[in-house]
Amino acid sequence: MARSIEGLSKGEKSRRLIIEKAAVLFNQKGYEGCSMQDVVKVVGLEKGTIYGHFESKEQLALEAFDFAWSETRKRRFAKLDTVANAIDKLKLHIRNFIIIPDFPGGCPLLNTAIDVDDGSSPLKREAKKAFRGWRDYLVGILHAGQEAKEVRMSVDPRKVATLIISMLEGASAMQELDRQSNALADAEEHLVFYLESVVRYRK
């Protein structure tokens, strides 16, 4: 767990500042769309200072993505531990996705997946790791729900998790293209119906 800003040394605070500001920049403009000079302008530190903390633009981008995704996860998984039933956890997760403001620039996972063409690049691999972590978290909720007889044994947790992620991210992209679209609300309506009618266990 990251230490609070008060407990950091001057050098650590400087490093944290660079990561936080670069995370917003990379997420808004893309890895290829911004230079280290852009980072210098946003952060307000000399290039030499930045390179004193990071070996390369790629290393900074990786840590910036990790920060952006960590913040995104916190928002999307907020208060899930206060809900007992697996289906209700998933419904709260969907609601969080829709109503809690996203990280500046949108979903870091979706942005990185679109921005980085090279599937073998470290940044693309980090995005894949983030996706798998998100999917596995939802799969864990569904498996626990099956054990507690809250989720039907006939459903495949991995397929359900993938469907939820795909619909939410797809709807988010559509709404970004058309601000007047109700894509996210429509996705929530269909996902809730699916969870209640197909996934929830009923005696």
Q: Tell me: the pLDDT tens digits for 19-63?
A: 999 999 999 999 889 899 999 999 888 888 899 999 999 999 999
Contacts for 180-185: CB closer than 8 Å, 24+ residues apart: 184/97, 184/98, 185/98
- 32 in a domain, yes or no? no
> Cβ distance 199 to 152 under 8 Å?
yes
The CATH number linked to 108 is 1.10.357.10
Domain count, the chain: 1
Query: Diameter of the chain by CA atoms?
Result: 65
- Rounded to an integer, what distance in angstroms lies between the CA atom of residue 115 and that of residue 124? 9
Please tell me what DSSP assigns to residue 106.
S
> Cβ distance 200 to 152 under 8 Å?
yes
- Rounded to an integer, what distance in angstroms lies between the CA atom of residue 123 and that of residue 120? 8
Q: Give tens-digit pLDDT for 133-176.
A: 999 999 999 999 999 999 999 999 999 999 999 999 999 999 88
Whether 1 has a pLDDT exceeding 50, the answer reads no
- Rounded to an integer, what distance in angstroms lies between the CA atom of residue 127 and that of residue 141? 22
Q: Note down the domain range covering 100.
A: 65-199
Whether 4 has a pLDDT exceeding 80, the answer reads no
Q: Give tens-digit pLDDT for 54-97.
A: 999 999 999 999 999 999 999 999 999 999 999 999 999 999 99
- 37 in a domain, yes or no? no
pTM of the model: 0.89
